[in-house]
A and B are shown apart, each in its own frame.
Chain A
């Protein structure tokens, strides 16, 4: 198992190299000139040209690409923002806690509310409980996050005055953004749990469990749910990855200085180091989460674990294990 994890970690290097090349190329061909953006509007073409030389933007594509890769992968330096006098890494690390807090709270809400909703719906398939759960889920996937966010602000901040409408601070600042952001996740979690549970409930081994005399509750939680977990974990992992990328809409509605705001404003400003650094950072984070998801798979399903281990060890060992 550890060998598998190490192998996957090593695989991240080529993946990140690929991401770096692609994002660098995209930014290179992007119209717009950071030199002009930095200088005043009244700057002469000659002054802009001088700035370009100073920033190294006049050099050919391949030289700049290799220079960037060298800087990132051999010196672990994501560079410095063109506009703020701050390294990209410290910019990301300053904003990361806000994004991570929202992402983790949303993930917990998604698991703690979405999963039971889905199980309830599956157990009472086509019944009243199922209909109610699925209407909630349908609302969740259809309602746009920004609309829900603004409605929540209107009600709880403006009208009732219970919670702050925007900004960051104590935990009360996170309540509305998290609810607005988690609703869609709860909904997709409920839908995935439902369909996954429905499939498992029809399996032969559930009939076996019932034939043993187990109660419906034991059948559900000891036999059905563990088998339904794989797709559920996938949804959680994907959602977590997406949310760590920063939820631009929620961040802008609530004025939260998160990763999403950081990268999108950098794109508008042609702040190349921030855009590329942000994308690379997210790529690394996403790869790690996917690795974590795959490791959890192995603990949930012994067949997947055997597969991972089979990739490392010779075939002979597995044959022996099979007797």
Chain B
């Protein structure tokens, strides 16, 4: 997939499951993608599709147990992160790969001053004195638009949007090469969402950081992502550049996602949501995971798993019906 040359980060055939009350929950089922330096990949999908699990596997912060990485490789410039020792991995966490979490309300330690929470990571990775770390933490606060005078405040003295900025400052404090942004704006209200997104985008550009943006908001994807991977039931069902995905969605699920968005240009009475519920990850359907909800599904879809097939350029899709006229028509209407 990706452009030519060794990718900066490459995930190959990642499989993760959780064990819960004796049931195996298949959260990630063979996900592969790659990312170049400075690029942004969007992971799009419904809640529970396995997006966060993918990100946490990269940083190796999944709770084990109950989570268990079954197979796969995560190559950071050729080094498999899954094979590193805990000590080696700790040097990568926060320094080379950092994560912005979904819920700023709970992501900060409530009894530690916010400045110290930022400075802590800096002091750890850059081996500088506490004073210098404090200076840099203050600079980071100012970069995300918080006055340095609030260094000694506690999280409860901040609003949700400001807490998320602190989380961003914390993630970017050591100039990471890869930023995992796990729905960074979901918990914020709309006006703050735009601000926070701008901050992330600008800092990312400034520091030439690669980013994996996890979201279910196609608007965010359009704004920040170079490439898009649509995730369904722990698999990538469609992958391509932003233009490819937005202009020519091929998978019925992707088409459905666009169909459930209001479009200012089209004159329709009702949105067309995707019918049904995501499959139970403990009991995935045989064959295409989307087939129970898919309007075009037939016997072939239900019989066996469907492979990703190339369309053109970097665009790939996991569907047997992508040449089907009906599907193409639906894509034209919504795309």
Contacts and interface: CB of A to CB of B under 8 A. Distances in A.
Contact of A213 (B94, B112, B158): B94
Contact of B91 (A208, A213, A306): A213
Interface string B109-146: 11110000000110011000000000000000000000
A303 B110 contact: yes
Contacts of B110: 205, 227, 301-303
A302 B121 contact: no
B108 to A, nearest CB: 6
A223 B106 CA distance: 13
Contacts of B108: 205, 208
Contacts of A211: 59, 61, 93-94, 98-99, 101
B120 A214 contact: yes
A227 B121 contact: no
A223 B111 CA distance: 8
Nearest to B146: A323
A213 B125 contact: yes
Interface in B157-184: 157-159, 162, 167, 170
Nearest to B90: A213
B69 interface: no
A84 interface: no
Given A205-B106, A205-B107, A212-B124, A303 B156 contact: yes
A227 B101 contact: no
A303 B154 contact: yes
A50 to B, nearest CB: 66
Nearest to A307: B156
Nearest to A322: B157
B103 interface: yes
Interface in A185-208: 203-205, 207-208
B101 A204 contact: yes
A289 B140 CA distance: 43
Interface size class of B (residues with CB under 8 A): 20 to 34
Contacts of A205: 106-110
Contacts of A59: none
A226 B106 contact: no
Interface string B70-96: 000000000000000000001111110
Interface string B203-221: 0000000000000000000
Contacts of B124: 212-214
A207 B61 contact: yes
A138 interface: no
A24 B245 CA distance: 83
Contacts of B106: 203-205
Interface in B29-44: none
Contacts of A223: 109, 112
Contacts of A215: 90
Contacts, number: 82
Contacts of A210: 61, 93
A277 B98 CA distance: 63
A268 to B, nearest CB: 49
B158 to A, nearest CB: 8
A303 B92 CA distance: 33
Contacts of B154: 302-303, 306
Interface string A13-36: 000000000000000000000000
A208 B111 contact: no
Nearest to B153: A321
B125 A208 contact: no
Contact of A226 (B61, B91, B107, B112): B112
Residue among A204, A208, A210, A215 having the largest count of chain B Cβ atoms under 10 Å: A208
A136 interface: no
B127 to A, nearest CB: 12
Contact of B120 (A212, A227, A303): A212
Contacts of A302: 110-111, 154, 156
A212 B157 contact: no
Interface string A238-249: 000000000000
A222 B111 CA distance: 10
Given A204-B101, A306-B156, A322-B157, A300 B111 contact: yes
B147 to A, nearest CB: 8
B181 to A, nearest CB: 12
A177 B110 CA distance: 40
A167 B162 CA distance: 63
Residue among A207, A213, A227, A323 having the largest count of chain B Cβ atoms under 10 Å: A213
Given A207-B61, A212-B94, A321 B157 contact: yes
A309 to B, nearest CB: 12
A307 to B, nearest CB: 10
A203 B101 CA distance: 12
A302 B111 CA distance: 6
A209 interface: yes
The 9 A-B residue pairs whose C-beta atoms are closest, nearest first, are A213-B94, A213-B93, A204-B106, A212-B94, A212-B121, A302-B154, A205-B109, A211-B99, A213-B90
Given A204-B107, A213-B95, A301-B111, 13 more contacts: A203-B106, A207-B61, A210-B61, A211-B99, A213-B91, A213-B92, A214-B90, A214-B121, A215-B90, A301-B110, A302-B156, A321-B157, A322-B158
28 contacts: A204-B106, A204-B107, A205-B110, A207-B101, A207-B107, A208-B108, A208-B109, A208-B170, A211-B93, A212-B120, A212-B124, A212-B170, A213-B90, A213-B91, A213-B121, A213-B124, A213-B125, A214-B120, A226-B109, A227-B110, A227-B111, A301-B110, A301-B111, A303-B156, A306-B154, A321-B157, A322-B157, A323-B159
Interface of B: 59, 61, 90-95, 98-99, 101, 103, 106-112, 120-121, 124-125, 150, 154, 156-159, 162, 167, 170
Interface of A: 203-205, 207-215, 222-223, 226-227, 300-303, 306, 321-323
